[in-house]
Amino acid sequence: MNVPRYKLDNSQRGFESGSTKLYLRNRRGSMLEAEIDVNSLDGKAKSDNRYWYAKNAAMERNKNFRRIRLSASSREAVDSCFDRFIPLEEGEAVQESEEEDVESKESVVGTSWEDEVLNKTREFNRQTRERPHDEKAWLAFADFQDKVSSMQSQKGVRLQTLEKKISILEKAFELNPDSEDLLLALLKAYRSRDSADVLISRWEKALMQNSSSYKLWREFLRVVQGEFSRFKVSEVRKMYSYAIQALFSACSKRHRQMDATSEPLDSALIQQELVLVDMLVSLCRFEWQAGYRELATALFQAEMEYSIFSPSLLLSEQSKLRLFEHFWSSNGARVGEEGAFGWSLWLEKEEEHRQKMLKEESSDDNDVGGWTGWTEQLSDRKEDSIIASANTGEGDVNRDREGLDEEMEDENGMPEDDTEAMLNLLGIDVDAAASDEVKDTSTWVKWFEEEVSRDQNQWMPTRKAGELSSVDEMGEREDEEQLSSLVLYEDINGYLFSLRSNEARLSLVYQFVDFFGANISPWTSSNSLWWIEKINSLETLSDSMLENLRNVHECLSKSDSANGFSLGSLLGSNSDISMRTEMMKFLRNAILLCLNVFPRNYILEEAVLVAEELFVTNMKTCEVATTPCQALAKRLLKSDRQDLLLCGVYAQREAASGNMKHARRIFDMALTSICGLPKELQDNSPLLYLWYAESEVANSSGSSRETESSSRAMHILCYLGSGLAYVPYSSQPSSMQILRARQGFREKLKKIQSLWSHGVTDDQSAALVCSAALFEELTNDLSGAVEILEHMFSSVLPGRRSQSHQLEILFNYYVRMLQRHQDDLTLSKLWNPISEGMQLYPLSPELYQALIDICNHRMTSHRLRMMFDDYSRKTPSVVVWLFALSYELSRGGSLHRIRGLFERALAQDTLNSSVILWRCYIAYEIDIAHNPSAARRIYFRAINACPWSKKLWLDGFGKLSTVLTAKEMSDLQEVMRDKELNIRTDIYEILLLQG
């Protein structure tokens, strides 16, 4: 059998030009099409050359074999999706352009593989010699060595090529010592050659010279986490401490160089603080995934108290830390807990209470009279301030801990003979357990269930040791659980830092809300470091990602008769109801406290209302006819009646709950009161108008309601465009009102375009552009709306577009508008915006969902797979692979194809440490492919690549109990302990329960 590489496609379907009618049928690198047998152990194809004659294969491997290089005509534009092959019209390869005869004659002679290597090397040498400071040229030269190495069959030759690559990068870094990209490439090349110890020492040396580089620290931590032989939680935790201290030191140094009172702060300082927050959140995520959930929660609480609710005292950093130690070691409630009011206010109340107690003691002494021996000591106590008293906090905590340790020693001081006798009475042979451990896998399954249950319930840190119950009042297990959940000041003081910019403080709050699972509106671009880090470190699917994948599955299920599976169903739910309920209560309390520092922040207001809805709904304390967040929203509005955006957020929640009449009353009340508000509050009106109009459009269902809702939406937008005082809806707007509004929108858009051209974008201007486009869609047609959006996008440079979350929200709005009218549009008009969006926002889940929705009915599955292949090659990310896998699973793709997808995804260096991909792969083999032995092999590869993920380790006990022996499960638990993962349940507890 000999399948040709190219096949002529004479069909006229599709949107490509004639130059791309020839497409590659059997592409070895195709991400979704190649159905190859994959060896699960090494991810390589068992037979790469099964479609070729042995004679032809041997000829292809000959490096002296000369090949004719054909290039496409310069007049032909090749689509980006097909840049891996050369499109040619049959019989027109040479005759089409006579002026290229000379080039054609040269190409007929052909070049061998060795000739090409020599020519490329000569060209790279010339470029790097002429432009020694061109980093891209050096990096391209190094990447070329990888291509050369991939063609070598002998290991020794590949090692020589690797040494050449390292020497190239060393020379490049010597000429460009400030280049982070060259240094990262060099350290990555060292990883392929050096041992783990040598590699870590090279990293440490590089970080000593570049201690302020977030990119280097982030990559170093990824290397340390993924090195299975060296991995220990305490070691990684220590590296995080070094990273945070180094980055904070760089921030402090830059702040000292500036005027401390200068406003606004330097943009470079703000960026340094933002990456410092990202580093702390990465640490919290690592602690959470390693099983130390109480510590992760405490780190968030401590940093928010330290940076957001700190007292306004002019203290040095060391004095501030000593003062904070007194707060942390006290009985004061922390962020998220009931009764918390922030460190600063707690300090004021503590000082007031102290002064009150001193006055009472003084008055009591004066009333008694007589001996005055206490007077001197009392006067000394009056002179002590709260700041000085903070220095005694550590001693108090140490005394509490010593007392508790003594109690525990008394409890554990019972003779060993009595303990062994008790175990024997229960039917447990201590010696046998020590030698054989547990012989029944069902015992380990019960251990797994208990461990998961405790993980879900134990995520809040307990209070200080003095508040623990006595040993007589509680069992030993409960006492140990509280001790392990106790987070002392010494556990968190090495990770605290002060934040001076509001941008960084808000980022901390937003990431805190997102970390604990609340639905929060986008506040940053999908190209941001935070989003990339979050996606790469996923263990489970977030609610927003799960919703996007569910929509993809529903879209494909309608069109395909095949019985597919949903990717979201493989991993199950994120948490149980009780854990979700307690987290929402915790978040509600924390956000309400943060709103005192960041008032009238509609993103936080929406988050707190959603958290309240989830909390009340899970508690089942609300009636069907009442919106769960109604009581909280009214309480917030009562405290600030001028908060327009809070009215809008509350009205949106009412509309989402189906109470459209009540939502209209709230919107109308807010819009009619705008005229009497200050100018800075009136500037928020575009958001309110847009939310109202979108709620009306979303409410339309059926012909009569659709007409009324569209009329109401036009009425709302007419007042926004014309600038007149709002009047509630009574009838359809007149043609004069529509004309006046259209003219008003044009004038407003001109002003916004001028601001956007200078890089000034905000939520209000983006909302106004969306409103103008929606107005054109409702009153005129889609073309007018598209013209407005494209014209406004063109006024912003692509670099600024890709980093602005407002413009990304606007672009997603543009795509949703096209989806509503996709039945009336050609594929080219739909595809061009999607293609442009993929270049600007390659990590946006909304765009991938739209891509599948639009292209599923209009092109073959092969072409859609080629698109995913192209995107995964250019911008490899977890997002593109999740949607590619979801596409195949929902369509009921073949086992070999889906396994090939998983293997190619995990073969990429940046994705090999993706826990979510490994967990999906294991679940796929168990639940869909029904191949436990393959799942077992994948599981061992997974824990080797991601040793920090406790959830991944526990998958072996929960999903692989039929293929893992009890001895293997026991060994796995021992390795988990050796890696210092937090194990909450001892196997002997399960044996006691069974006994």
Nearest to residue 632, comparing CAs of 679, 585, 598? 585
| Residues 756 and 672 placed together within one structural domain of the fold | no
Phi, then psi, of 67 in degrees rounded to 5: -120, 145
Domain end point (choices 676, 695, 720): 676
The DSSP secondary-structure symbol of 186 reads H
pTM for the predicted model, two decimal places: 0.84
CA separation for the pair 538, 951 (Å, rounded) = 11
Strands (E), 313-459: none
| Residues 707 and 794 placed together within one structural domain of the fold | yes
Strand partners, 22: 8
Are 718 and 741 a contacting pair, CB within 8 Å? yes
Q: Helices 375-383 and 343-368 meet at what angle, rounded to 10?
A: 160
Strand partners, 486: 462
CA separation for the pair 842, 527 (Å, rounded) = 8
| Residues 703 and 809 placed together within one structural domain of the fold | yes
Domain end point (choices 627, 652, 676): 676
Is 716 part of a structural domain of the chain?
A: yes
The DSSP H or E segment spanning 827 is helix 827-840
| Residues 660 and 700 placed together within one structural domain of the fold | no
CA separation for the pair 691, 798 (Å, rounded) = 28
N-to-C CA span, the chain: 65
Tell me what pLDDT residue 62 has: 62
Tell me what pLDDT residue 630 has: 92
Determine the residue type at 561: S
Give the three-class secondary structure for 70.
coil
Q: Work out the angle at residue 790's Cα, subtended by the Cα atoms of residues 785 and 792, and round it to the nearest 5 degrees.
A: 100
CA separation for the pair 381, 702 (Å, rounded) = 76
Is 225 part of a structural domain of the chain?
A: no
Are 242 and 248 a contacting pair, CB within 8 Å? no
Are 699 and 705 a contacting pair, CB within 8 Å? yes
Are 617 and 657 a contacting pair, CB within 8 Å? no
Q: Work out the angle at residue 78's Cα, subtended by the Cα atoms of residues 72 and 81, and round it to the nearest 5 degrees.
A: 130
The DSSP H or E segment spanning 22 is strand 22-24
CA separation for the pair 769, 806 (Å, rounded) = 11
- List, as one string, the DSSP characters of 432-466: HHHHH----HHHHHHHHHHHHHHHHH--SPB--GG
| Residues 807 and 695 placed together within one structural domain of the fold | yes
CA separation for the pair 729, 644 (Å, rounded) = 19
CA separation for the pair 901, 213 (Å, rounded) = 34
Are 180 and 210 a contacting pair, CB within 8 Å? yes
pLDDT in tens, 509-523: 999 999 998 889 999
Q: Where are the alpha helices (DSSP H) in 780-804?
A: 782-794, 798-803
| Residues 147 and 173 placed together within one structural domain of the fold | yes
Mean pLDDT in runs of 10 for the chain (995 residues)? Answer: 44 40 38 36 41 60 61 45 46 43 49 81 93 93 90 85 94 93 94 92 94 94 93 96 96 81 76 96 97 97 96 87 93 93 92 84 59 41 43 46 47 48 45 57 94 93 58 50 82 94 96 92 92 93 90 82 73 69 94 96 96 85 69 94 94 93 95 91 95 92 69 95 93 93 96 91 95 94 93 89 93 94 88 92 94 85 89 92 93 90 93 95 94 95 96 95 92 95 92 80
Tell me what pLDDT residue 668 has: 95
| Residues 146 and 170 placed together within one structural domain of the fold | yes
Q: Work out the angle at residue 744's Cα, subtended by the Cα atoms of residues 743 and 746, and round it to the nearest 5 degrees.
A: 65
The DSSP secondary-structure symbol of 24 reads E
Determine the residue type at 192: S
| Residues 665 and 615 placed together within one structural domain of the fold | yes
The DSSP secondary-structure symbol of 471 reads G
- The residue assigned the tokens 């390869």 is 93
Are 203 and 243 a contacting pair, CB within 8 Å? no
CA separation for the pair 231, 978 (Å, rounded) = 9
Is 967 part of a structural domain of the chain?
A: no
Q: 835-863: string of b/e by CB count within 10 Å (b at 16+)?
A: ebbbebbbbbbbbbbbbbbbbbebbebeb
Tell me what pLDDT residue 426 has: 39
| Residues 668 and 779 placed together within one structural domain of the fold | no
Give the three-class secondary structure for 326.
helix
Nearest to residue 717, comparing CAs of 736, 698, 741, 734? 741
| Residues 667 and 776 placed together within one structural domain of the fold | no
Tell me what pLDDT residue 387 has: 43
Q: To the nearest 10°, report the CA torsion of 88, 94, 95, 99.
A: 120
Structural domain boundaries, residue 184: 119-193
In this structure, the number of other CB atoms found within 10 A of the CB of residue 150 comes to 9
| Residues 632 and 703 placed together within one structural domain of the fold | no
Q: Give the distance between the most distant pair of CA atoms in the chain.
A: 121
Tell me what pLDDT residue 107 has: 46
The number of distinct structural domains making up the chain is 3
Q: 462-493: string of b/e by CB count within 10 Å (b at 16+)?
A: bbbbeebeebeeeeeeebebbebbbbbbebbb
Domain end point (choices 653, 676, 699): 676
CA separation for the pair 802, 761 (Å, rounded) = 12
Is 168 part of a structural domain of the chain?
A: yes
Is 409 part of a structural domain of the chain?
A: no
Nearest to residue 58, comparing CAs of 180, 153, 124, 165? 153
- 170: burial class by Cβ within 10 Å (0-12, 13-18, 19+)? middle
Is 897 part of a structural domain of the chain?
A: no
Phi, then psi, of 22 in degrees rounded to 5: -95, 120
| Residues 650 and 704 placed together within one structural domain of the fold | no
Is 669 part of a structural domain of the chain?
A: yes
510 Cβ neighbours under 8 A, 6+ residues apart = 520, 523, 524, 603
pLDDT in tens, 966-989: 999 999 999 999 999 999 999 989
- List, as one string, the DSSP characters of 546-576: HHHHHHHHHHHHHH--S----THHHH--SS-
Tell me what pLDDT residue 151 has: 80
CA separation for the pair 322, 412 (Å, rounded) = 35
